[in-house]
Structures are given as structure tokens and as C-alpha cells.
Amino acid sequence: MDKNEQPRFHFFTPSEVQPKGWMKRQLEIQAKGLGGNLHKVWPDIRDSAWIGGNREGWERVPYWLDGFIPLAYLLRDEQMITDAKRYIDAILSAQQPDGWLCPCKEEERATYDSWALLLISKVLTVYYHCSMDERIPEVLYRALKNFYTLLQTGKIHLFSWGKARWFEGCIAIRFVYERTGEAWLTELAALLKQQGTDYTCLSENWKTPLNRWCYETHLVNLVMMLKQEAVSCDLLGQAYTDSAEAFVSVLKQYNGTPVETFTGDECLAGLSPIQGTELCAVVEQMYSYELLYAYTGDPKWAERLEMIAFNALPATVSDAMWSHQYDQLSNQIACEKFPGKPIFRTNGEEAHLFGLEPNFGCCTANFNQGWPKFALSAFLHKGDNVLCAIPLPMELKTKEHSIRLDTNYPFDHFFVYTVKAEKAFTLRIRIPSFAENLTVNGNHAEGEMLTFSFAEGENRKITVSYEVKPAMMRRPHGLYTAQYGSLVFSLPIAYKARKSEYERNGVERKFPYCDYELVPQSEWGYVYAGRTLIADKREISEIPFSSKYPPVVLKAKMQRIDWGLEDGYEKVCAKIPRSVEPLANVEERELYPYGCAKLRMTELPLNE
């Protein structure tokens, strides 16, 4: 591989981009919530073996840092930056003379799952791009060289999570290879692929969900895997074939949800609207799509990314981001602990509660990467081209140019770009496929990519707008969802939050980081009485995806029906309604954005 070969687009660093508007408020909420305080309240981060403590020394600190670091630098929060550096300093200072980086004894290396090394290596590349800490390239060089030697000599091998996620190591390998060009790095990538899971022969396993846990159908593994070709093919000297599209088509056909995620609680769960999607899978699928779009420039990945980020991510965290679910459901009428067998295929009775660490704590640490990395995906660059990939309210400032985008997207579809060019460059703006009546500076325009050339010293303001029509989208089982651009809408269910404070296994749940059950307080069994949907745009509150004050609603005609409960359950609606015959007159109901409705009915029947 030519070491100078590059992916199609690059990400800007947090020193070059700054969130504005609702995006900044969302990141500030995260910083004030669990993501910004986990190291103060959660023993697995606060007292981790990664920093010399006696708690978990595997994936949780790296997972948390993967989001905490870019969050700190995007917000220019000096205390958070100091806290991040304290963790990084401890990790670097503990590196062994031979390069080994993870907190385990030498005699334990063969049984220590290398997934943690793949993960912390990737996190250190994130830290470098945020901090420009010049210690990182040497630390990664030594860690990867040690990893290569241990794998090559057979002293260790990939197994379990490391085997399933082998491709994650290619991110750090690429980072070091770009700086050294040494051949052993491409050999390391080949070793990882050789020992890793081959997903090309597994898609038949994804078509029929089973009530059995296995690595090959584990949803988080699969959504991570979608980026494997994009991050590894250059290192392996192989052509890019868009294998991710083939994988997505099977996963979507047999396990798809209305918000571009897949069901998996934890393993693939089919097409039922009452099966869950793990939060780790939400943020990892976002990350895969971010890298796929940067590598390919194919707009399908950006459009799918928006659907997940604007719907699935806010839906599964509380407004204040102090609690989260492990599993979210498309049709979720209650979040109460199951007294008997859970509805989930392989998860426990608390997996859908909002809390500190429902079911497993991986999502507690890992969900924090979602918003910060999404914000960093707004602008991309290659050569003298800048691409507005995701139209978020952001400001980009480099030595060559500054671009400020003011917008309330996805709640509105009006965009103001204020551009100053210190050097000549080209600005490209992606337009989503659902846009209609596109205008630029008040004039009609067409196309899914707008291109503007700027001369040196030129300043210009560009206004872009388009219309979006609400539409009914067909789902399996004769059901439908309402969609408005990148937003999916649900019938919200009023609820009472039942707080629970307690201690288990040395982990305290105490307000505000306690657990909550959501008990339904309103009717939820409805049918759409026709396809008419009317958008009503409102102000964006201090909480962008507020469960009380949504920034946009759809008004729909609906009628109550006898939906019924799933057999054997008191707080789970039936997969499909037992009757669509109306029980009452037509009434107008407000649909909330999926991400605002914590209890919701999203997939509903339609009477025309």
C-alpha cells in the first residue's frame, strides 16, 4: 500500500470546529449529565485498574474516554480536558517496557481478551487528534509492535470479543502506518483479519432470530463490522467493494427498525416492533456510518447516519442524560421491570429501564461517543474541498477558511452559511434525497450536492432552503410509521417516572444517577385514520429533544382500537393489533419526534 494514499475525506479536529445552537446545548447537557461525571460516581471508571485501582480494567474506561475526550475538547472545557489527561497520563505511564499497554500481569496476557487493546489504541488516536499530544505516536508504535510480536509468535491469539472486532485495530494501525510506512504494520492488519471472524459467510444466520446468545449474531459486533472494509482494505492491499451495503441489506430486511437501526437485544431479534435495540449498537452503527461516508463519499451513509442520530440516540437517554436504557423498543408502552420472563431474546428483566447501568454497564460507558463524534462529522475535507456532510449548527475555523452554519436542522430546513476564504477553496453541501423545491439564495436549484467556489479573500453568505413533506412509510406486519425528513414520529404516551435508589455489587444508584421505571398514564392503542399529516414547527427548548416540549410535531387523524397485549405480558403491547376496527370517533393527535417520546407507539396500522 502507498503510505500516502488517503481515504476520500478527512475529519476536522475539535480545535477547528465548534458546536453552535442546539448542537452545543446537547453536548452541554451530556457534559452536565452522566457522560461528564461518570468518573466521579461510577466505580468502574473512578477506581478502574487502568488508573491503578481495583475495578474493571478492560473495556469500560476506554469506552468512556472515547466519548469524554472529544466532548471535553469540543466544549473547550478545561476541567474536563484536565480529567481526560489524568486518565491518559495514567495509561501511558503504565505501559510496560516491551510495549504492552493493558492493565494485566504478563502471565495473564494469553487469557486477556485483546479487544481492550484494540479499543484503547483507537481511543489514543482520538486523543491525539484532540490534543496533538506528541507522546501518542510513540506509545501506539510500541503497543502495536508488541501486539504484532505476540500474535506472530503465537504467545497470544484473538478470541471472543477481540476475534469478533479485529478490524477495530486497523484504525490505530493506519494512524501509525501513515507516519512510518513500516511493513510489519500491514502484516499486523493481515494477522488480525486471519485470526478474526469472517463475516462474509454468516449472513444466513441473520435471517432467523434465535433465543440464543452468540458472537456471530451479536448486534454490536455486526454494526461495528459494517466499517471493516473501509478501515482495512487499504492496509490489506484490497479493493473496496462496498460489502457494507450487502450486509446492511440483509440486516435491514430481516431485523430492520423504522429508524435505520436493527433489533438486537443483544443478538438479532427480527422485525417485531416489541423487540429491542441495544444502545451500544446505536452509537457504534453511527460511528461505522461516519467512517463509511468519509471513506466513500456515498451520501446513503450520511442519510442513514442522520436517521439514527436524530431518532434512536435521543430516544434511549433521558432529557438530562443522567440515565439511559440498554434496550429501546419501537412500540414501547411501558418501561417497568418484568416480573417473569423478559420480552427480550437474550437480555434481562431491567434492560429497558432508564438507569445508571441497566442490564450491563457497557452502554453506560459507550453511549457517550454518540453526540461528540456526530458533531465532528458535520464538516469533512479533502485537498482544497470542504464538505458539509451533516448540516448541524457548527462553526469551522482553519487557517484557510471559516464557515459558520446557522440552522435548526433537522427540525427545520433553512440554512445560512457565512463563509470567509483566506485561500481559494471549494465548499460542497450535501442535500438529502427527500428535499423538494430546493433554493439557493432564493433561486431554484437542483441536485444532491451543491458546489461553491471561493476565491482568496472572498467573503460570502449562502442561504439554502428546501421543503419536506411528511409521509407514511410502510413497515412489516401491515403497519406504518410517520416520517418528516430525517425525523421519525411516534404517538407519545404520558408516563409517571418511578424513581429507585439502591446499591448493588458496590455500585450506588443515587439521584440524579438512579434508576427509573416509566409507568404509562395514557391510551396507546390507535390506528391512523388516513394518511394526512401536518407539520407544526415550534421553538427549540433548552433541551433539543425534550420529552415535554418537542421542537416540531405532526398532527394526525387517529382512532382508538382494541390493540391488545402480547400473550403472557401485562406491559407489552401485542406485536400486531388484534383488531383495527375503530372504537371511537376520529380525533386529532400530536405525534412527537421518536427521540422525544420515551414511551411511544411508532409502528401503527392505517385505515384509509
Nearest Cα neighbor of 185 from 147, 137, 241 is: 147
What domains appear along the chain, each with residue ranges and CATH number? 33-196 (no CATH), 380-467 (2.60.40), 471-607 (no CATH)
- Residue range 455-511, pLDDT digits in tens: 999 999 999 999 999 999 999 999 999 999 999 999 999 999 999 999 999 999 999
Q: Average pLDDT, stretch 554-579? A: 97
Instruction: Report residue 2's pLDDT band, with 50, 70 and 90 as the boundaries.
Output: very low
pLDDT tops 60 at residue 227 = yes
- Residue range 39-67, pLDDT digits in tens: 999 999 999 999 999 999 999 999 999 99
Mean pLDDT, the chain, as a whole number?
97
pLDDT tops 70 at residue 4 = no
Nearest Cα neighbor of 96 from 85, 108, 84 is: 108
Nearest Cα neighbor of 486 from 578, 410, 559, 586 is: 410
Cell of 17: 470546529
pLDDT tops 60 at residue 371 = yes
Q: Average pLDDT, stretch 118-143? A: 98
- The confidence score (pLDDT) of residue 1 equals 42
- Residue range 168-204, pLDDT digits in tens: 999 999 999 999 999 999 999 999 999 999 999 999 9
C-alpha dist (Å) from residue 282 to 92, 264, 270, 541, 552: 30, 10, 16, 24, 23
- The confidence score (pLDDT) of residue 8 equals 86
Instruction: Report residue 281's pLDDT band, with 50, 70 and 90 as the boundaries.
Output: very high
For strand 385-388 and strand 425-430, is the pairing parallel, antiparallel, or unpaired? parallel
C-alpha dist (Å) from residue 481 to 326, 478, 575: 23, 11, 15
pLDDT tops 50 at residue 377 = yes
Exposed (0-12), middle (13-18) or buried (19+): which is 452, by Cβ within 10 Å? middle
Q: Which helix (H) or strand (E) holds 362?
A: helix 362-366
Question: Who's near 462: CB < 8 A, 6+ residues apart?
Answer: 416, 417, 419, 427, 440, 441, 452
- Residue range 74-110, pLDDT digits in tens: 999 999 999 999 999 999 999 999 999 999 999 999 9
**What is this structure's pTM?**
0.97
Q: Average pLDDT, stretch 142-158? A: 98
Torsion of CA 126, 128, 129, 133, to 10 degrees: 150
- Residue range 582-593, pLDDT digits in tens: 999 999 999 999
- The confidence score (pLDDT) of residue 6 equals 45
Residue 394 CA to residue 20 CA, distance in Å, equals: 5
Instruction: Report residue 7's pLDDT band, with 50, 70 and 90 as the boundaries.
Output: low
